[in-house]
Amino acid sequence: MSTPGMETMEQNDNEGDNFRLHLVTWNVATADPPVDISSLLHLESPKGPDVYVFGFQEVYSGPLRFMSDVVFDDPWSHCLMTTLAPWNYVKVSSIRMQGLLLLFFSKLEHLPFIRDIQATYTRTGIFGYWGNKGGVSIRLSFYGHMLCFLNCHLSAHMNNATERMIEFEYITDMQIFNCEKAQRILDHRLVFWFGDLNFRIQDHGMHFVRTCISDQNYSLLWSKDQLIMLKKKEKLLQEFEEGPLHFQPTYKFDLNTDLYDSSSKKRKPAWTDRILWRLIPKALSSDKQEECGDRSDANNVGQPEEAKKSILELSQDLYTSDMQYRISDHKPVIGIFTLKLKKMQTTPLVHLLAEGEWSADIDAMLVYFPKQPFPSSSWDWIGLYKVGFSSVFDYITYTWVKDDEVAVDEEAIKVYMSKDEIPVRGGECVLGYYCNTLQCIIGISEPFKVHASKVAIEEGLVPEKLRSLH
């Protein structure tokens, strides 16, 4: 399935690069992840996604579990990190507000071009203080284009459609980012809005709704879907697009079944779980729609203003539910998009490499080369990661850039790393430069081998088949 604009995208491939975005929203009803989540991820597709974004609602947040999740990764984050890391995906950012969880993963190759990351949340629950309802968001610059992802859980029940709209407007007004040129959600060039939005199918009776679902005549229900109805009169909603609802309503099911609610309440099925987007056309955007944290790009210097105009187009390739999961009374919804853009950055801000031979037997030296000016600080650090690391903070060790500098010239800066911090068993590793101001990794080295220490080999800590490699 595609939306209007796909033809234009295919005709103008030479004007930009295509990226695949894979979004999932799921109200998990406090359940832990199933054993197999591969169906949600489409990892076996010919071209894997460049970016994954997951929005969960009603993640279990009992007092003991919630305190544990503050220190350790929650089960959903851990499951996705463990599953995606072998495929070379890294968790770039996440934010949680009680049961609301938002996760952003990227292919490793894009990491140095995802910058100025900020995340925030807004409560709309009981008296505006309880975090059971509201919105969590992550904003970032992707190759110089400002994107924002908003995961919401809005008020429930049939008669609260207007309240849901008020909550959405409140969230978009209240969330403020430390970015002069995109302080609010709607200042971003591209916004994805998704979650358990809780809009229902009104007027139609239960028998008619269930008959339409049984016969797969979903279009007969669209005219009474509250979100579609509100779009006809709410100007803000008219700015958002959504693909056709060519899948059965995702709420409410009996647990561990594919049967709609058979309890005494017999809630009417509804498309409560949705994915929408808002793209500001190039003609309506201004120069303010550039990255706020990093404004220097050597590739743009001296170019005419017209050449700097950014290409940003979006088409939806798939919008569906995944009916095989039964752990919740909701079914997950998947949206897959092709994002076409002209890269505003093509060079990492720093280039990194490991100098000489690395092992736990000797102190090591790394070198980084600033390729462009960037807002460095005394809180910047360089991490040593195993190849296949799962998140930005999944490092083996790190060294403070400013504290451990040992040599500086006009082009290269050398930084010391103690042998005591290097893994004795060795392995394939990479280095990553983390810029605290931009809240992201701005440079990744090529993989290199860290040799096992002599002590590790002598004590049998290295498997026999790997000893010859050292």
Cα separation, 430 vs 101, whole angstroms: 29
Q: What is the pLDDT of residue 193?
A: 98
Could you tell me where in the chain the CATH 2.60.40.2840 domains are found?
A: 350-467
The two tokens of residue 389 are: 């690391």
Cα separation, 430 vs 241, whole angstroms: 40
The two tokens of residue 169 are: 């407007």
Can you name the residues that pair with 18 across neighbouring β-strands?
340
Q: Could you count the other beta carbons within 10 Å of the beta carbon of residue 277?
A: 22
CATH for the stretch 6-341: 3.60.10.10
Angle at the Cα of 41 (from 36 to 45), degrees rounded to 5?
A: 120
Residue 19 amino acid letter: F
Q: What is the pLDDT of residue 378?
A: 95
CB of 341 closer than 8 Å to CB of 386: no
Q: What is the pLDDT of residue 126?
A: 65
Q: Decide: helix, strand or coil at residue 323.
A: coil
| HSE-up (13 A, CA, CB side) for residue 12 | 15
Instruction: Indicate the average pLDDT of the chain.
Output: 88
Q: What is the pLDDT of residue 301?
A: 35
Domain 350-467: which CATH number of 3.90.1010.20, 3.40.50.2300, 3.30.70.260, 2.60.40.2840: 2.60.40.2840
Strands 134-142 and 114-123: antiparallel
Is residue 136 exposed (0-12), middle (13-18) or buried (19+ Cβ within 10 Å)?
buried
Can you name the residues that pair with 277 across neighbouring β-strands?
192, 241
CB of 52 closer than 8 Å to CB of 97: no
The two tokens of residue 279 are: 């793209």
Q: What is the pLDDT of residue 469?
A: 41
Each residue's pLDDT tens digit, 335-356: 999 999 999 999 999 999 999 9
Q: Decide: helix, strand or coil at residue 421.
A: helix
CB of 236 closer than 8 Å to CB of 169: yes
The stretches of 119-269 forming alpha helices (DSSP H) are: 161-174, 206-214, 219-222, 226-231, 235-238
Q: What is the pLDDT of residue 68?
A: 59
- DSSP symbols for 148-192: EEEEEE---SGGGHHHHHHHHHHHHHH---S-TT--SGGGSSEEE
DSSP assignment, residue 389? Answer: -
CB of 398 closer than 8 Å to CB of 381: yes
Each residue's pLDDT tens digit, 113-142: 999 999 999 999 765 555 589 999 999 999
Can you name the residues that pair with 335 across neighbouring β-strands?
23, 319
CB of 153 closer than 8 Å to CB of 132: yes
Each residue's pLDDT tens digit, 176-213: 999 888 999 999 999 999 999 999 999 999 999 999 99
Can you name the residues that pair with 225 across neighbouring β-strands?
201
Q: Decide: helix, strand or coil at residue 350.
A: strand
Residue ranges of the chain with per-residue pLDDT less than 50: 1-13, 283, 287-289, 293-308, 464-470
DSSP assignment, residue 30? Answer: T
Tell me, rounded to whole angstroms, the distance of Cα 265 from its chain centroid: 36
Cα separation, 21 vs 63, whole angstroms: 34
Is residue 81 exposed (0-12), middle (13-18) or buried (19+ Cβ within 10 Å)?
buried
Q: What is the pLDDT of residue 424?
A: 85
The two tokens of residue 56 are: 């969960």
Residue 179: partners with Cβ closer than 8 Å, 6 or more residues away:
116, 118, 139, 292, 293
Cα separation, 233 vs 321, whole angstroms: 27
The two tokens of residue 195 are: 């979650």
Each residue's pLDDT tens digit, 253-293: 999 999 999 999 999 999 999 999 999 876 455 544 455 64
